Amino acid sequence: MRLLNALAGRRIAKVSGTPGKTRMLNVYVLSVGSGERGAVPSAANPAPVPHRKEPLPAPRSLYLLDLPGYGYSRASQTDRRAFRLLITHALNRPRLAGVLWLLDVRHEPSTDDRAMQEIFAGQDTRVLAALTKSDKLSRNERARRERELRNALGLDDDQVIATSARAGEGIEDLREAIGELVGGAHTA
């Protein structure tokens, strides 16, 4: 996942050339405020990038859960059902600050995107949408698509950030927005 690596400032997640390769929950921890970044071990990531020093304990650590893409067309009904349960469980965590929702800026919201928005709204989940692959569009087209996606999914201006992991566009803005999301999680 290129965006996660760009946010971390180093390679902590494997990146595949084929979308939909994430088949299980992967957990990463980014230490907030110390400049330390790294991954925690999991079945999918048994050899994480070593920390330069010990990560800060929660709540100063930000846990990122990389979930399988819900729109992955070749997933079995059993896998889709398991994914829905995983999402529901994750959204009901008491310490959940919010969701970083990755959407390809080039595409219209899918049926699954709209269903996910309904789940977020039903759970009263704070959402930050990272519109990926913004470097693939002209500045005018990107602004138009940003506005269309924001309106289609009922998101506010401050909930949407156009990003490109390859070009580095929007990464710092996304880091700041995540910091605000996490910082306001227990005060809102």
Amino acid found at 21: K
Q: Is the pLDDT of residue 48 over 60?
A: no
Give the pTM.
0.75
Nearest to 164 by CA among 113, 99, 102: 102
The per-residue pLDDT for range 20-33, each reduced to its tens digit, is: 666 667 777 776 55
Q: Is the pLDDT of residue 57 over 90?
A: no
Domain 71-188 in this protein, CATH class: alpha beta
H/E element, 162 = strand 160-162
The per-residue pLDDT for range 66-97, each reduced to its tens digit, is: 776 665 556 778 877 887 788 888 888 888 88
CA atoms of 125 and 78, how far apart (whole Å): 25
Q: In whole angstroms, how far apart are CA 88 and each of 95, 118, 160, 179?
A: 14, 12, 23, 24
The per-residue pLDDT for 87 is 80
Q: Is the pLDDT of residue 174 over 80?
A: yes
What are the boundaries of each domain within the chain? 1-66, 71-188
- State what percent of residues in the chain have pLDDT above 70: 72
